Amino acid sequence: MGALPHWPYPRWIAHRGAGYLAPENTLAAFRLGAQHGFRMFECDAKLSADGVPFLMHDATLERTTNGKGTGGDLPWSALAQLDAGGWHSRAYAGEPLPTLENLARWCIANGFLLNIEIKPTPGVEEKTGRVVGEHAARLWQGQAVPPLFSSFKPEALAGARAAAPHIPRALLIDALWDGCLDHARSLGCAAIVCNHALWDAALVAQVKGWGLRALSYTVNDDWAAQRLIALGTDGIITDRVDLFSPAV
């Protein structure tokens, strides 16, 4: 096995900011994750109807906002009015949806790193990857460490590669499918991000033998984290910013 390329990202990554303790994908969640010592964060980015990248996991608005319908069908001017915190607890009522630019400026100002999961509304995968890539290239221009793109959708990663080939990419995998690792290599990926249960010694060796990094989601139990550390994986995405010390 040859030496792996330089990897500037830390092992511990806070999922959607601080996924359980604050409303996911809001600036309040990222601030809380930072208060627990995390210096890299994962977020979900999709497009408004008028092409603004904003943070939200689901295609629909109901679970994490007071809106209704498909988020990508609304212009940013309407999305910006929604309450993205009241569903979590009264303490966060009125918390707005952030744009990717909001989060980027906060991360850059504080020296934090970011994994941007490109989470397209169905039907606009390539466009979402391309627009997110264009925005990230502009926002992180001149920064020492770029964000890390990831997506379950190869078309989104292809769009990101076309717009920002210098920003590293990772294929997200929930279940191994025929040719998935070859597909990651064909997209020029720097990493694979697997459901943590998929990793074993053979898969870690195969992925690293191809010069790729091995990351896991979403790890919320100590036994699972210890298993992944023992396997020699490179990154752990967690909701439990209160359980794990990112200094380890």
Annotated catalytic sites, by residue? 15, 57
Bridge pairing between strands 53-55 and 113-118: unpaired
For 10-116, where are the alpha helices, taking DSSP H only? Answer: 27-35, 76-79, 100-110
How many Cα atoms within 13 Å fall on the side-chain side of residue 12?
24
How many CB atoms within 10 Å of residue 221? 12
How many CB atoms within 10 Å of residue 68? 10
Q: How much is the CA Rg of the chain, to the nearest whole Å?
A: 17
SS3 content of the chain, % helix, strand, coil (to 5): 35, 20, 45
Q: In this structure, which amino acid lies at residue 99?
A: T
Q: In this structure, which amino acid lies at residue 246?
A: P
Tokens in use for 229? 């550390």
